[in-house]
Amino acid sequence: MITPSLALVALLLPTASNAFSPILKGNIHGFSSIQQKSNLNKLSMSAVAPVVDEETNTLTLTPIKSLDGTVTLPGSKSLSNRCLLLAALSSGSTVVENLLESDDIRYMLEALDTLGVPVDRDTEDKTKVTVTGQSGPIDAPSQEACELFLGNAGTAMRPLAAALCMGKGKFVLDGVPRMRERPIADLIDGLVQLGADVKCSDTGCPPVEISAENINGGKASISGKMSSQFLSSLLMASPVAKGDITISIKDELISAPYVALTIGLMKKFGVNVQIDGDMDGTPSFTIPSTEEYTSPKSILVEGDASSASYFIAGAAITGGTVTVRGCGSESVQGDVAFADVMEQMGAKVTWAPESITVTRDPDVKLKGVDVDCGKIPDAAMTLAVVALFAEGPTTIRNVYSWRLKETERMKAIVAECTKLGATVEEYNDYCVIYPPEGNKINDNVTIETYDDHRMAMTFSLAACGNVNVIIHDPGCTAKTFPTYFEMLNSIATH
């Protein structure tokens, strides 16, 4: 087994060269529903493709016998938005390649436009952009409060909230109704400790209001129990403060691989973070004022490891053979460890530096597992559906963060797994899934996606149980993977 360790903070991301290109633009809801529906309607013109029912906004997936083939993954959401922000804070221009084309990235790009950060788009390639850095903090473009609408993009809301406190000016960051339910108070608390004039709503969620007058450095102690994005946001913003900054974790740090990813990317942009203590304990991080972001000239975004989980799981469930290209044994993303979980359940996994191949011997049945998924909470959702096909129960532990994501994922997963015939025990930060008797999945179940892209993609795999599965609002996958159903269908045998 090969699982990337937290030593990945020292790894450099692969570089690329060339010019650049734009993300699709549109109104805040139009891209998700209209653009994705358009993609699926084009797909439905072929004889074997799934068809979107526009009246009910559903997509019926017919039984999938096997998944076989090679999938080239879209760029990582987490890396894409981090790359854009660090490029904006750096000196020099940065070409970003294999940028994820999705709602969340579009919100970040539009925010940079509003803030006056030059972003050049190549009309021939929508996954490549050139960002001209500001050589330091980003100031408000005028005396008026700069209003940024960030949809439901946590990877835009949280890092921007921290970064904009380092400059000068007034800002208001807001999003869709669900964003106003997603906590940000721990991040605000850390920024206030550093001297920022920033506040969120009384509920501890956005909108965020900032009156920035630079930050001269300081120390902050924050909680890491709710989301690693708060720490990552403070880390990314710190090099453009005017003094040394030290950030410590006062309790525990969940999703530590995402922090390792952040630190590794900062190193690629010329900044070294000093780490004191164990990343699995209560570490502290120091960024001296001498550290400054410098453009690496070009950077290639890895394929999205969370998105890889659906194809890896599909191969494990059906016994087909699937290779995902874009992340592998040298990946900086923690979610590649999902492949190790599939191996524990009975799949065969073959690693290469930039790819993972998964299959399963038909004589080997999947077995339930008991796994701490605190470091892979997004990929852990996929495990919930694989559990329906296993012998014995599967326990998914340390996923309290599910409750704080795009939807209340714990309750959503319990509800939809139950519809499919499973018995699910729900606890505060874990669940136990007992598969249906004989692993017989209920047919023609309509899956409610709760406007959550990962719910739609995860539960599409129920079709591997020789049943029709009806996905409500398939267009919600536009948040991170607009072409998911097209890609799934391209390697499916029905």
Q: For residue 174, how many other CB atoms are within 10 A of its CB? A: 17
Instruction: Label residue 436 left, alpha or beta by phi (over 0 means left) and psi (-120 to 50 means alpha).
Output: beta
278-281: list long-range contacts, CB under 8 Å, 24+ apart.
279/6, 279/253, 280/6, 280/253, 280/256, 281/252, 281/253
Q: Is 335 a catalytic residue?
A: no
- The residues that bridge with 222 in the sheet, in sequence order, are 249
d(CA 118, CA 136): 14
Instruction: Label residue 466 left, alpha or beta by phi (over 0 means left) and psi (-120 to 50 means alpha).
Output: left
User: Which H helix or E strand runs over 92?
Assistant: none
d(CA 219, CA 225): 19
* Nearest residue to 304 (alpha-carbon basis) of 161, 155, 90, 148: 155
Amino acid, single-letter form, for residue 23 = I
Cβ contact 253:232 at 8 Å:
no
Which residue bears the tokens 């100031």? 139
* Nearest residue to 279 (alpha-carbon basis) of 267, 263, 290, 266: 263
Query: Alpha carbon of 161 to those of 38, 77, 80, 96, 460: distances in Å?
Result: 33, 18, 17, 22, 34
Amino acid, single-letter form, for residue 111 = A
Active-site hit among 378, 451, 452, 473 = 378
Cα 186–191–197 angle (5° rounding)? 120
> In whole angstroms, what separates CA 308 from the centre of its chain?
12
What is the set of active-site residues? 378
